[in-house]
C-alpha cells in the first residue's frame, strides 16, 4: 500500500473520504507529519490550493476528486467515484430515496401502529415499514474558538459518564459520532493555540470512544479510536495522552497475548513524561508479567511502580477516580500470581476508592469477591458476589461480563452448594450480552 494511503485507512479517514471531505483528509495527512508541499505534489495542486482546502474550501469537481484519490493512493470507490474496469467491483445500485411526503406517510404509519399496540394490545395491521435514519455531515462553523473546544470536551465528559454507568454497548455509536463531529471542526479556520486545544480534546474523545468500543467487544474499532487518540495527542503536543493510549492498546491484548501487551506497556513506561504516568505503566507491566507467570519480575515491577507513585505525590491526579486504578491493577497482578490474600486487600482498596462509574464498581467488586472465595472467606465473597450480580444486570458491556470469569472460576472451584449455585448463575449472566 502507498505510504499516504496507509495513513488513510482508519475510521476517521474512511469516513472523511466517503463524505468527500477533502479538508479532513488533508488534515489527517498533515497531522501524521505529511507537509502541505508533499500533499500538493501528490494531488497535482498548488500549495495555495491545499491551504484553501484546509481552510474550509469544498472540492466539488469530480475530476479534481479523482485526481486527489489517485494522488494519495486510495481506491476511487472509497469516495463514491467511478470504478476502474477490472480493478474494483461494480458499485452497488443507488438506493431508492424517499420523498418527504413518503417519509412522512411512513412515520404516521409507524406512529399509528405504536399507538394501536399501546391502546389495544396489538397492531391493527401488518408491521409498519421502517424508516432508516440517514447520516448527514455535521454543520461546521466557519471559525472555531475556545468555546467550541469547551463544548467538545463537555460532551465527551457527559458521554463518558453515561458509558461508565450503562456500559459500552449503548454508547459506542454515540461516542463514535461525537468524534466524527469533532474531527469535522478541524476543517474550520482557527488560531494555532485553539487547534492544539482541539486536538487534545479530540484525543480524549477518541480514547473514551475506544474504551466504549472495547466494552462492546468491538476490538478493531477500539484500536482505531486509540490509534487516532494517539495521533491527536501527538499533534496537540501532549505526550501524556500518547502514553496513556499505549496503556489502553496494551490492555486490549492483555488477555489473549500478555507478551504483546507487555511491549506496549514497556514502550509507554519508557516514554512517560511524568513520574505519575510512568507509575501507571509500571503497574501495567507488573500485571502482564504476572499473567506470564514471571512472579519475581512482576513483584519487582510492582515495587518500582509503588516507588514511582510515591515520588509523584505532588503531581495532580490525571482523572477522576484515579485512586481506584492502581490498586485495581495491583490486585489483578496478585490474583494472577495466586496471592489471593494480597489481592483481596488491593481490590478492597480499589472498591472503596472514589469513582462515579458503575462499571468500575462492578469490576473491582467482582474481583474482590473472587479473591475472597479463593481465600476461603465464603460469607464475604458470596455477599459481594450477590451485589455484583445485581449491578451487572443493569449494564450492557461485553467486556464487563467477560471480566466475571475469575469470579465464575473461583465459585466453581468451591464444593459448597452456595458456591455451586453462584457458579451456575454467573454462567447464565456471562452468556447474556
pLDDT in tens, 166-209: 898 899 999 999 999 999 998 889 999 999 999 999 999 999 99
- In order, the DSSP letters of 185-196 are GGGSB--HHHHH
Give alpha helix (H) positions in 167-218.
168-184, 192-215
Mean pLDDT of 158-170: 91
CATH dotted code for 3-79:
1.10.260
Closest CA to 26 of 50, 52, 57: 50
* pLDDT at 132 (0 to 100): 52
Mean pLDDT of 386-410: 90
Question: Three-state SS for 20?
Answer: coil
Mean pLDDT of 257-267: 92
319-322 long-range CB contacts below 8 Å, 24 or more apart? 320/354, 320/355, 320/356, 321/353, 321/354, 321/355, 321/356, 321/357, 321/360
* pLDDT at 103 (0 to 100): 59
* pLDDT at 383 (0 to 100): 96
302-314 pLDDT per residue, tens = 999 999 989 988 8
Closest CA to 308 of 343, 278, 352: 278
Give yes or no for residue 114 having a pLDDT over 90.
no
* pLDDT at 429 (0 to 100): 87
Q: Are 80 and 18 in contact (CB under 8 A)?
A: yes
pLDDT band at 67 (very low <50, low <70, confident <90, very high): confident
Q: Are 371 and 343 in contact (CB under 8 A)?
A: yes
pLDDT band at 93 (very low <50, low <70, confident <90, very high): very low
* pLDDT at 355 (0 to 100): 60
* CATH T-level assignment (fold) for domain 325-433: 1.25.40
Residues in the chain: 433
* pLDDT at 102 (0 to 100): 62
Give yes or no for residue 128 having a pLDDT over 50.
no
User: 38-63: string of b/e by CB count within 10 Å (b at 16+)?
Assistant: bbbebbebeeebbeebbeeeebeeee
pLDDT band at 422 (very low <50, low <70, confident <90, very high): very high
Q: How much is the mean pLDDT over the chain?
A: 84
- Start-to-end CA distance of the chain, whole Å, equals 37
* pLDDT at 119 (0 to 100): 53
pLDDT band at 342 (very low <50, low <70, confident <90, very high): very high
203-255 pLDDT per residue, tens = 999 999 999 999 998 988 999 999 999 899 999 999 999 999 999 999 998 98
Give yes or no for residue 159 having a pLDDT over 80.
yes
Give yes or no for residue 385 having a pLDDT over 60.
yes
* pLDDT at 104 (0 to 100): 54
* pLDDT at 331 (0 to 100): 94
Mean pLDDT of 391-414: 90
Give yes or no for residue 12 having a pLDDT over 70.
yes
pLDDT band at 131 (very low <50, low <70, confident <90, very high): very low
Where is pLDDT greater, at 382 or 54? 382
* pLDDT at 105 (0 to 100): 59
Q: 3-state DSSP helix/strand/coil percent for the chain, to nearest 5?
A: 70, 0, 30
Amino acid at each position: 500500500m502507498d505510504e499516504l494511503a496507509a495513513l488513510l485507512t482508519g475510521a476517521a479517514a474512511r469516513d472523511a473520504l466517503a463524505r468527500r471531505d477533502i479538508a479532513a483528509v488533508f488534515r489527517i495527512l498533515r497531522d501524521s507529519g505529511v507537509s502541505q508541499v508533499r500533499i500538493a505534489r501528490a494531488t497535482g495542486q498548488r500549495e495555495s490550493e491545499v491551504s484553501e482546502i484546509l481552510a474550509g474550501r469544498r472540492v466539488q469537481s469530480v475530476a479534481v476528486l479523482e485526481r486527489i484519490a489517485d494522488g494519495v493512493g486510495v481506491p476511487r470507490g472509497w469516495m463514491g467515484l467511478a470504478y476502474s474496469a477490472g480493478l474494483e467491483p461494480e458499485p452497488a445500485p443507488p438506493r431508492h430515496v424517499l420523498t418527504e411526503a413518503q417519509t412522512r406517510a411512513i412515520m404516521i404509519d409507524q406512529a399509528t401502529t405504536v399507538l394501536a399496540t399501546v391502546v389495544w394490545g396489538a397492531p391493527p395491521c401488518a408491521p409498519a415499514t421502517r424508516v432508516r435514519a440517514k447520516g448527514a455531515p455535521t454543520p461546521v462553523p466557519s471559525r472555531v474558538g475556545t468555546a467550541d473546544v469547551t463544548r467538545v470536551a463537555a460532551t465527551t465528559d457527559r458521554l463518558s459518564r453515561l458509558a461508565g454507568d450503562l456500559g459500552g454497548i449503548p454508547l459506542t455509536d454515540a461516542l463514535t459520532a461525537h468524534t466524527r463531529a469533532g474531527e469535522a471542526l478541524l476543517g474550520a479556520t482557527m488560531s494555532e493555540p485553539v487547534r492544539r486545544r482541539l486536538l487534545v480534546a479530540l484525543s480524549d474523545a477518541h480514547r473514551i470512544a475506544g474504551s466504549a468500543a472495547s466494552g462492546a467487544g468491538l476490538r478493531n474499532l477500539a484500536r482505531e479510536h486509540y490509534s487516532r487518540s494517539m495521533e491527536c495527542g501527538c499533534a496537540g503536543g501532549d505526550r501524556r495522552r500518547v502514553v496513556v493510549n499505549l496503556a489502553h492498546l496494551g490492555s486490549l491484548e492483555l488477555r489473549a497475548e500478555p507478551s504483546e501487551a507487555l511491549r506496549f506497556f514497556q514502550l509507554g513506561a519508557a516514554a512517560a513524561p511524568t513520574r505519575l504516568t510512568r507509575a501507571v505503566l509500571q503497574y501495567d507491566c507488573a500485571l502482564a508479567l504476572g499473567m506470564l507467570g514471571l512472579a519475581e519480575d512482576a513483584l519487582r515491577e510492582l515495587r518500582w511502580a509503588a516507588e514511582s507513585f510515591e515520588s509523584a505525590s505532588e503531581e495532580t491526579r490525571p482523572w477522576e477516580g484515579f485512586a481506584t486504578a492502581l490498586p485495581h491493577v495491583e490486585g489483578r497482578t496478585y490474583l494472577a500470581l495466586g496471592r489471593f490474600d494480597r489481592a483481596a486487600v488491593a481490590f478492597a482498596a480499589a472498591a472503596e476508592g472514589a469513582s462515579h462509574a458503575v462499571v468500575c464498581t462492578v469490576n473491582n467488586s467482582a474481583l474482590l469477591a473472587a479473591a475472597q472465595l479463593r481465600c476461603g472467606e465464603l460469607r464475604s465473597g458470596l455477599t459481594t458476589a450477590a451485589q455484583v450480580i445485581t449491578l451487572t444486570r443493569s449494564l450492557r458491556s461485553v467486556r464487563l461480563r467477560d471480566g466475571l470469569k475469575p469470579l465464575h472460576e473461583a465459585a466453581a472451584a468451591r464444593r459448597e452448594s452456595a458456591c455451586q449455585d453462584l457458579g451456575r448463575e454467573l454462567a447464565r449472566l456471562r452468556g447474556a450480552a
